Structure 1
């Protein structure tokens, strides 16, 4: 993700997370920590290109690293691409980034009502370890805290080996991973 991606990402963000969307400043702040020798963040966008619409962002994800622990900050996939495996591809890239940052584990928060996202994370080996009451505001929705030990061991051997959805109706919009604080 680059600075010029922020506006289209914000459009997708507001569509998918109308109550607790990230602000422009939050993305700018995280991108400021994604460059240079002291980088602690990694953000990706997924794009599609068409003759009619041109280049369009259809998904994004971000990860923050601190010491040997990484935290999935956000993953989102445009509604028309839910169930395509794009969420798994983005998560794979975030786990590759955690491995490059030499993180021993990856943490995330997921809305307790986002069962489909939880299934995606479980396919990659994430395990629930606790709750954060009222984490998502203003809706006062609890977060399920999940942890993945040894992200390098959870990476697919090849890009074509990304874990498949458990059923054909998998939604790869993993909105519960947003950390708005």
Structure 2
């Protein structure tokens, strides 16, 4: 199967609706979390402006472990009591951080990152991991970005196998 991303147009909510449709097409019929995380991180990274990292961390029962991503090499393991990713995983709430340098315990995997959006991935009450976006632009992410990425994260969670 070949896939060509369609350029996003219209308002930001319309763009996220288009991105979600593209994500659904990528996920259709595939249930492997690594394959889907790889494709979604590439789709998001190339579709959205002003990102320097987009990817997944998976929960191994103790900590978050880096999964498929786009961007510079990343921190491999993140404790749940560290950084924006750890906060999203621990609290199971989206973290939208305008200035990562003002966030207590921020982990600087890429010194160029200035703002971050992290959505927890939860399935049937169990933590799967997080979807993490970083930007070199302060205050890059707004409520429309949060809603759009939460929708993409929900598509990913629904794509996972029911048998593990």
TM-score normalised by the chain length of structure 1:
0.25
TM-score by length of 2: 0.27
Structure with more of its chain in strand, by fraction:
1
